[in-house]
Amino acid sequence: MSLQQRKGLNAYQKQSGTVSRDELIREHLGLVKKVALHIAGALGGDVPKDDLLQAGMMGLLDAASRFEPGKNIPFEQYARIRIRGAVIDELRHWDWRSRTDREHSHNIRDAIQALHNRLGRSPSEQEIAGELGVSVERYHRMLQGGNSGALLSLDALTNGEASASVIEVSDDDSIQIITEGDECNKALTKALKALPEREQQLMNLYYVHEFNMKEIGQILELTEARISQLHQQALLRLRSFMEEWSREP
């Protein structure tokens, strides 16, 4: 049997259910590490990676138990969603941010929302800092402290599926939600397209192409710390937009 034939047989067996649960788990252990470390890299700081890996492993076990081969979804895609959800749930239990960091995130969202209503567009960093009454440097430090909260917010906005299976690149190289069947996803798609160009690029590279923060910094020619700040800012913009959308009649 040729290599191509073996690959075809393996793919058929996975979809037809003849591959055992243990085989599915063994073949996708690398996916757990990839997803967990990808999320950890977005948070920065001293994140206990072993705990995230353990949570991701539980997500893989759950995926292997629940997977239904008859449905038109590859196991890897299904497992990725379950693994990510398990890691995010673990992070929700931690949320190590201080009270000050929580307040900063809340104040930034309010400032973005107020400026967007007044200006009719996404405000610049200088405008946000001015609305908060702080310097741009101080604003950047405020952004750095809230990474974990913003990541959880985006995950909640996409029902725990903020990954390449939900966000993709469209023909005009902008990002959009694939599952646009409900109003929430349509609103989030609109919010993503309203982000400044550089933040759209960052979101593309992180959520679609799954580069880490260091790699994105090299691509966009910015420091890893600066990429982390922009990621946080983009997520807070999305959160502000979605909170305002949710209050509309």
Write out the chain's pLDDT in tens, 249 residues: 445 444 443 544 444 445 678 888 889 999 999 888 888 877 665 667 888 899 999 999 988 888 877 777 788 888 888 898 888 778 777 655 667 877 888 899 899 999 999 999 889 999 999 999 999 999 998 887 655 555 544 555 544 444 333 343 333 333 333 343 466 667 777 888 889 999 999 988 887 788 888 899 999 999 988 998 898 898 888 888 877 777 766
Helix axes 75-94, 29-43, angle to 10 degrees: 40
Domain ranges of the chain: 3-94, 99-247
Number of helices (H), then strands (E), in the chain: 13, 2
> Residues 155, 207: contact at Cβ < 8 Å?
no
**What burial class does residue 164 get, using C-beta atoms within 10 Å of its C-beta: 0-12 exposed, 13-18 middle, 19+ buried?**
middle
Tokens (6 digits) for 104: 């900063």
Asked, colleague to colleague, whether 3-94 and 99-247 share their fold, the answer is: no
Tokens (6 digits) for 214: 């260091």
Cα separation values, 234 from 21, 65, 90, 171, 246, Å: 39, 36, 23, 22, 18
Pick the CATH number of 3-94 from 3.40.50.150, 1.10.1740.10, 3.40.50.720, 3.20.20.150: 1.10.1740.10
CATH architecture of structural domain 99-247: Up-down Bundle (1.20)
CA distance 234 to 231: 5
CA distance 105 to 99: 10
Helix axes 224-247, 213-220, angle to 10 degrees: 100
